[in-house]
Homo-oligomer: A and B are copies of this chain.
Amino acid sequence: MKPPIAFWFDFISPFGYLASLRIDELAARHGRTVDWRPLLLGVTVLKVMGLPPVPQTPLKGDHAARQIARYLRRHGLALGRDPAAAPMNPLPAARLLAWLRANAPEHARPMARAVFDAHWARGRAMDDAAALRDEALRAGVPAAVVDAGLADPTAAALLRAEVNAAIAAGAFGSPFFIVDGEPFFGVDNLELLDEWLARGGW
């Protein structure tokens, strides 16, 4: 059994959402599974790298908006939310994901999928317990599991550990993939990641 592909993302990242729509299918074609892992751009990019958010960076913000629009046209997709709008608070969702990954890992991916879809396809704010509970239940996560995750104060520490693991692995953006120690950053690198898996590296 080959090790899973680490898929790091922040729920506030439209590029992370777009990658989330493809990574499982891509990995499966190569006999791989995917480990969906939360990081926080507010820690990696803003604090550790010392950079401003992309939308507020001159030239880069406009370029990212054009990249998103071009990607959506290429793949026949639409967003239910303006990627230039102020981001939601990702902490509650990221903490719940970190908790599920540690305590009920079979529910981690469905919950993350539900948050991404509700937020980016339907434009729902996913920054409080009520919205997370509602969407997780709709995605089939048992109520007892959701409630335990939302109530457990260790979730914050589990998320901090995830963010530290991302940094230790060299992951900083969203999406950021690591396969067998090799880093791939950005949705535009999925084709390269695909080639890497097909060739077994180079």
Residue of B nearest to A172 (CB): B59
Contact with B along A163-179 (1 / 0, CB 8 A): 00001001010000000
Q: Does A50 contact B (CB under 8 A)?
A: yes
Q: Does A52 contact B (CB under 8 A)?
A: yes
Total identical chains = 2
**A11, B182: Cα distance in complex, Å:** 28
Q: Is the CB of A59 within 8 A of B44?
A: yes
Q: Does A30 contact B (CB under 8 A)?
A: no
Q: Is the CB of B58 within 8 A of A49?
A: yes
**A57, B58: Cα distance in complex, Å:** 17
**A49, B54: Cα distance in complex, Å:** 10
Name A residues whose Cβ lies closer than 8 Å to a Cβ of B: 44, 48-52, 57-60, 62-63, 66, 70, 73-74, 167, 170, 172, 182-183, 185, 188-189, 191-192, 202
Q: Would you give 21 A-B contacts (Cβ < 8 Å), ordered by A? A: A44-B59, A48-B58, A48-B59, A49-B59, A49-B60, A50-B58, A51-B51, A51-B57, A59-B167, A59-B172, A60-B172, A62-B170, A63-B185, A66-B170, A66-B182, A70-B182, A73-B202, A74-B202, A188-B188, A188-B192, A191-B191
